[in-house]
């Protein structure tokens, strides 16, 4: 119940302060920019419990998942109608999180390996541009992120695939610059995972691992096509 109230608390103010349309005038709080761009960045889910367990097995804390996961994908941003007579700044992003590997044991036949990867889709509709203008935008917004983390564990040739599906409300701060047809941007997010942290076994023998949460920060950069539309 507390998680539901948290989600409503994040979204409610956005509905109350939607930008009203004014014929012949530029929107004051809504960016006039559209952007489509490839993106890349670093994601930091909460992997502390798993890192602690791997440290106990490994005997040290070297080469674990402390640096998070690197992701690459595609970003779209632009104004969107969500309420009657009002608009917001919206942003969408899909990312594939690249595999990150940890090995325990130096002897090949006795080694234990863990490959962590995943994907996520971010949607954030209720944005406010706090630097009104055509070239530069600084958007603050709530949103929601969902996706899957995948862990492939292998020992003595036997592999196990486990998955952790997550849904995470988030806060987004996004800076964009549009120069002619070019858009440059950066986005920082903080996510709070409201789903269970346990791994779900998909294939292979059962392998006990501490759960994970996609609670944490991410930062992404994008360069691509941009356009400024004057109202």
Q: What is the pLDDT of residues 184-205, one digit of tens each?
A: 999 999 999 999 999 998 888 8
Q: Is the dihedral of CA 122, 123, 127, 132 positive or negative?
A: positive
Per-residue pLDDT at 190: 96
Per-residue pLDDT at 143: 95
pTM of the model: 0.80
Is 199 in contact with 148 (CB distance < 8 Å)? no
Is 105 in contact with 57 (CB distance < 8 Å)? no
Per-residue pLDDT at 88: 81
Is 157 in contact with 45 (CB distance < 8 Å)? no
Per-residue pLDDT at 142: 94
Contacts of 23 (CB under 8 A, 6+ apart): none
3-class SS of residue 71: strand
Look-up of token digits 């080469």: 63
Dihedral (Cα; 210, 213, 217, 219), 10-degree rounding: 90
Per-residue pLDDT at 94: 97
Distance CA(186)–CA(221), nearest Å, equals: 4
Query: pLDDT below 70 — which residues of the chain?
Result: 1-28, 59-62, 82-86, 105-110, 132, 157, 230-231
Per-residue pLDDT at 112: 82
Per-residue pLDDT at 41: 96
Per-residue pLDDT at 96: 97
Per-residue pLDDT at 37: 97
Per-residue pLDDT at 130: 86
Per-residue pLDDT at 102: 84
Is 73 in contact with 111 (CB distance < 8 Å)? no
């Amino acid at each position: 119940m507390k998680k539901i109230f948290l989600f409503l608390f994040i979204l409610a103010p956005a509905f109350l302060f939607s930008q009203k349309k004014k014929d012949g005038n530029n929107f004051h709080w809504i960016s006039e920019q559209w952007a489509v761009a490839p993106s890349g960045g670093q994601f930091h889910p909460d992997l502390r419990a798993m890192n602690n367990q791997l440290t106990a097995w490994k005997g040290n804390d070297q080469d674990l998942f402390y640096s998070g996961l690197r992701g690459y994908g595609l970003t779209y941003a632009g104004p969107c109608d969500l309420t009657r007579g009002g608009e917001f700044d919206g942003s969408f992003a899909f990312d594939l999180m690249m595999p990150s590997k940890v090995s325990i044991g130096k002897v090949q036949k006795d080694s234990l390996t863990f490959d962590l990867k995943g994907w996520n889709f971010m949607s954030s509709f209720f944005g406010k541009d706090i630097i009104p203008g055509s070239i530069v935008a600084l958007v603050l917004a709530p949103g929601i992120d969902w996706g899957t983390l995948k862990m492939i564990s292998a020992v003595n040739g036997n592999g196990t695939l486990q998955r952790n599906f997550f849904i995470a409300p988030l806060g987004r701060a996004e800076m964009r610059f549009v120069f002619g047809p070019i858009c440059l941007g950066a986005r920082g997010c903080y996510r709070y995972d409201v789903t269970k942290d346990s791994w779900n076994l998909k294939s292979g023998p059962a392998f006990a691992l501490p759960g994970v949460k996609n609670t944490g920060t991410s930062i992404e950069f994008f360069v691509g096509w941009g356009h400024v539309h004057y109202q």
